[in-house]
Structure 1
Amino acid sequence: MDYARLSGEAADQLLADLSAVPVADKAEEPAIPTDPNYESDEVDRGSARVTLPQNAEQNDTCELVFAGPSHGNPFVDVDLTATFRCADRTVNVGGFYDGEGCYRLRFLPPEHGPWSFLTTSNARSLDGIEGQFRVAPSNRPGPVRADGCHFRYDNGDPFIPVGTTLYAWTHQDDVQEARTLQTLAEAPYNKVRMCVFPKHYEFNSGEPPRYPFEQLANGQWDTTRFDVKFFDHLERRILDLGRLGIQADLILFHPYDRWGFQSLGAAADDRYTQYVVRRLAALPNVWWSLANEYDLMADKRDEDWERIGLTVADADPVGHLLSIHNGTRIFDFTRPWITHCSIQKTDPASPVPHIEEWFAKWSKPIIIDELGYEGDIQFEWGSLSGEELVHRFWEIAVRGAYATHGETFANQDNLLWWAAGGELVGNSTERIRLLAQMIAECPTGHLEPLSGHFHLRGAGVRGVYELHYLGHYQPRSLKFDWPEGTTADVEIIDTWTTTVDTVPGDFTGPFELSLPGRPNLAVRIRRRPNL
């Protein structure tokens, strides 16, 4: 049964029942150990040719390329790692096989200066290779980190996630992908939720042009051999996003699958996870999401997700952001390997009733990555008005959390933005841009909730920068508790028409403000600088 055809309590109950179904034990293929005798003693140790990075810069991907052996199956027969050192800084990096005798070690240098490296491998020709290269300083901000309940770049600059959903955009043809990138270049979104595996679902049932594994003659997947063209295409698209200043929130597993990728078994899952992380972790704009709707994958228990999460954390020398996303059963975000909370709303009426509780429980950044989509398809979650989606964004923002956009307008080609990208046709994007601007102009670069009226949510810095959202309420006046002795400038913001009207006058101490008496308004109060 397609749970998305249900709504409300019936859908919640079905998903809860599915999540509670016990998983029967099954025979698992064992992990494949590397071959200690992959190369004979006749091969000189450290004899593989290496190409060092040129023009390496701090916080940018640099790559060492080795011309090594290709007999057998190097994807599983060979392991290659290296230790990089600069002064007192040491970074351990795992390499990967890229086909045709090519091995790569990718490194994201956190500091500029002279770096040295030394390789370790069970393949004699790749073992014990050492060298040096210089990393130049740069103004690149580095990867995004969790900072309390918010985010910042590695250089300390605030990062305000304004996300959109593009699950299968890298599984389209070149023309469609180029159209998506052009749209993103003009949109306010700086984070994209996207799947590594192809996705099978309503409006997304075609065959993708590439697959992550080599396919056997009998149609089965050889999970010991990765299709390097698939991963080369994926990483090029992530680089495209990076050039636009967009973070790639990569979903490693998901349940919408007719190819069997959600049920590969533990050994294959771990092999795939390590390969993806080793290959992509040196890209500065990567985030990891273990799963979209993890609790709908009956083949995996919580302990499997724990193992996979630890595999990602262990294989990623950069320490990129890492989370996991729910269907109806929210994961235990207290786990130390989880950096932030990626949540699908569990209350059909509102995405926000538990945000304060979640902050108190987890003390980590919260992103409501699924709060419903602006669109007109047959499902409740995909038929919100643009006005409702923008309202939800504001409701979440003034509670100190973040939200992710999605758009699901039907069209004759069945290429919906939420799945396949292309062009945005809805009304919410420019309104979301205004909200992002309002958050960015807060002196701290983020919003902290403020106490206020029972039906009025405020956030910012008390007495310095306050943003109050009225939402569906439409009072004719409101009193604001502004501190004595400071003068404020006041603006009334229409969050739907995106008009910002300055209220004339000097506002000092507690004051009462006349309002237009219509919904979708916000009030911004800023302390006037002393002249």
Structure 2
Amino acid sequence: MKISKILIAGLLFVLSETAVFSQEKVEQWNRFEISLNHRIQGNGFTDVELRAKFYNADTTFLINGFYDGDNTYKIRFMPQEIGRWNYTITSNIKEFDNKKGYIECVRATGENHGIVRVADTYHFKYADGKQYYPFGTTAYAWIHMGEELQEITLETLKKSGFNKVRMCVFPKSYKLVHEEPLRYPFKIKKMTQDEEGNKVFLWDFERFDPEFFQHLEKRIDELSAQGIQADLILFHPYDKGRWGFDSMSEKMDVRYLEYITARLASFKNVWWSIANEWKFLKSKSVADWDALIETVGKNDPYGHLCSIHGPTSVYYDYTKPGLTHVSIQDEAPVLNSYSTATLRNIYKKPIVLDEVGYEGNLSQRWGRLSPEKMTNMVWNGVISGGYVTHGETYMYSGEKDTIFWADGGSLKGSSWKRISFLRNILEDAPGPLIMSDISRDLKTSSAGKGYYLVYFGEEMNESWIFSLPIKNGDKKRLQPGAKFKVDIIDAWDMTITADPQIFETRKVDGYRVFDKDMKEVRLPLKPYIALRITETD
């Protein structure tokens, strides 16, 4: 496997009989990799035990190794703190056991902000403290398409403004996704054909195919180079017996999770999505899913973001500690600008609406949102203090057409541009949004003192009398005598126009504060208009 020099500071090296090895410098949150060679007579995936203890003065990480094929074993580590990290290897292979070494972790540079974690209960930050706002899209099976189409997908994502992509590890078989993948996660014992000419596989579930996972890693690294988080869907129901990856034994499910976490937990841009539409995997109960969530948590020493996604309006118990955030499929919370805020109050975790429907022209109701509708839903979710994932399902040449939602490729719609515009607005704000007064104001959000965002959605208004709720979420309340300027945002045309007036708050009137002269803002009598209101001297 060819490793990206940009993303991986750790060098590969081979252990000999020398007891101690050192690696001079590894950037914080980058990947350090130990490569070990040993010819084994049996099965390298099942017969070899390999792990390492990485430790400094305060912290210890226990890291599982894995077999990467061709008599090569690897251990990967993502240092969280600068300074020296010592390590000791333990293994049932004599040549590996009790080998020691150390690395020197240096401060991260450039766009290396580290792993994304939950911050301030409802939001996300990189490990270095930089705010992260997830503006994602969906391309379920893009890594299983032809190489040329995968390259087009990467180029599309680079230009799109998305910073997260939902993607399946296992290939997908669906009415609109017919392609046979180029690689498979397991070695093939035997392949035949049925009467209709379809491939029939007998898998060797005792042996993973390293080439499959090496390719997956290559694509995850390429996403990382573009600042994109890889939201990996570990299980899904879109197999229907074609490969059988949706009906593996409990033992094999666990071995798969142990293997993939050993390989990928050191990748700073990985999220774990335990399943997509978990309820449709009839072979698994809620107790089974709980056990798989626990397996991922136990084998991920860094605590990557982790959730599970259900069918429409089917909610898992997201209060469970193994789940870091809510990942749901439901249109209802974004049909208005406040329901997502209610979900926040229930779950006390970040709300990510990973499927509210897709912009497209399919006959299915979930795949025929207008671009205006898709854009409006994303705004509604963001105003409520949540996050909404985009998807696109345009089909022009029949069911074998490339559809971004499944295959990747090029974006044909127009909501993605408006979502990128919104991302810029949010990243320019002083912090993440919270509804100012959810019980009495259904349009106004705040990012703290002196910053408000008002969204009118599908309403069309000629004017707006300057008026803000006295309540400011959990921040300091608005006071009389504060001066504000107003920008008129056209969410569809992607324009921002400054109103020339300065507004000054007067004495509190009930639950609201008006301008002392009752000034108003002239609006363009169009839908999808927002106001950015910022305090000024």
Instruction: Say which of 259, 263, 268 aligns to 2:247.
Output: 263
The 1:58/1:271 distance shift into structure 2, 3 A limit, reads: same
Counterpart-to-counterpart distance in 1, 2:85 and 2:123: 32
Give the AA of the match of 1:168: A
What pairs with 1:74-473 in structure 2 (closer than 5 Å)? 74-139=44-109, 140-147=112-119, 148-217=121-190, 219-257=201-239, 258-328=242-312, 329-345=314-330, 347=332, 350=335, 354-412=339-397, 414-444=401-431, 446-451=432-437, 456-461=442-447, 463-473=449-459
Counterpart-to-counterpart distance in 2, 1:246 and 1:346: 25
Cα deviation digits, residues 442-475 of structure 1 (max 9, x gap)? 112x111112796741112355111110001112
Cα deviation digits, residues 295-349 of structure 1 (max 9, x gap)? 0000000111111111111111111000000014211001101000111006499
Residue 523 of structure 1 and its aligned partner are, at CA, apart by 0.9
Cα deviation digits, residues 334-375 of structure 1 (max 9, x gap)? 110100011100649938774233212210001000011111
| More off after superposition, 476-485 vs 410-419 | 476-485
Q: Percent identity?
A: 40
Counterpart-to-counterpart distance in 2, 1:465 and 1:508: 14
TM-score normalised by L of structure 2: 0.86
Residue pair 1:247, 1:286 contacting (<8 A) in 2 also:
yes
In structure 2, the residue matched to 1:9 is none
Give the AA of the match of 1:292: N
Residue pair 2:334, 2:340 contacting (<8 A) in 1 also:
no
| More off after superposition, 374-383 vs 344-353 | 344-353
Give the AA of the match of 1:287: W
The 1:351/1:294 distance shift into structure 2, 3 A limit, reads: farther
3-state SS of 1:414 partner: coil
Cα deviation digits, residues 24-83 of structure 1 (max 9, x gap)? xxxxxxxxxxxxxxxxxxxxx995999865642111011011112422111011121110
Give the AA of the match of 2:141: A
In structure 2, the residue matched to 1:520 is 528
In structure 1, the residue matched to 2:480 is 484
Q: Which runs of 5+ in 2 are unaligned?
A: 1-14, 192-200, 469-478, 506-513
| More off after superposition, 150-159 vs 131-140 | 131-140
Residue pair 1:48, 1:66 contacting (<8 A) in 2 also:
no
In structure 1, the residue matched to 2:476 is none
Residue pair 1:162, 1:404 contacting (<8 A) in 2 also:
yes
Give the AA of the match of 2:305: L
Counterpart-to-counterpart distance in 2, 1:492 and 1:330: 37
Q: Which runs of 5+ in 1 are unaligned?
A: 1-44
Residue pair 1:242, 1:285 contacting (<8 A) in 2 also:
yes
3-state SS of 2:148 partner: helix
Counterpart-to-counterpart distance in 1, 2:439 and 2:502: 22
Counterpart-to-counterpart distance in 2, 1:208 and 1:351: 40
In structure 2, the residue matched to 1:14 is none
Counterpart-to-counterpart distance in 2, 1:424 and 1:48: 54
Residue pair 1:451, 1:457 contacting (<8 A) in 2 also:
no
In structure 2, the residue matched to 1:35 is none
TM-score normalised by L of structure 1: 0.87
Give the AA of the match of 1:238: I
The 1:68/1:441 distance shift into structure 2, 3 A limit, reads: same
Give the AA of the match of 1:324: I
Counterpart-to-counterpart distance in 2, 1:513 and 1:50: 71
Residue pair 1:48, 1:67 contacting (<8 A) in 2 also:
no
The 1:336/1:320 distance shift into structure 2, 3 A limit, reads: same
Cα deviation digits, residues 397-443 of structure 1 (max 9, x gap)? 00000000111111335111111111111111111111111111211
Cα deviation digits, residues 160-210 of structure 1 (max 9, x gap)? 000000100100111111111111111110000000000011221110000
Counterpart-to-counterpart distance in 2, 1:302 and 1:468: 40
By relative contact order (CA 8 Å, sep 6+), the higher-ranking structure is 1
Structure 1 position 498 matched with structure 2 position 494: yes
The 1:327/1:353 distance shift into structure 2, 3 A limit, reads: farther
3-state SS of 2:26 partner: coil
| Cα RMSD for the two superposed structures | 2.1
Counterpart-to-counterpart distance in 1, 2:364 and 2:377: 18
Matched positions, count: 484
Counterpart-to-counterpart distance in 1, 2:35 and 2:334: 53
Counterpart-to-counterpart distance in 2, 1:324 and 1:365: 13
Residue 517 of structure 1 and its aligned partner are, at CA, apart by 2.3
Give the AA of the match of 1:502: A
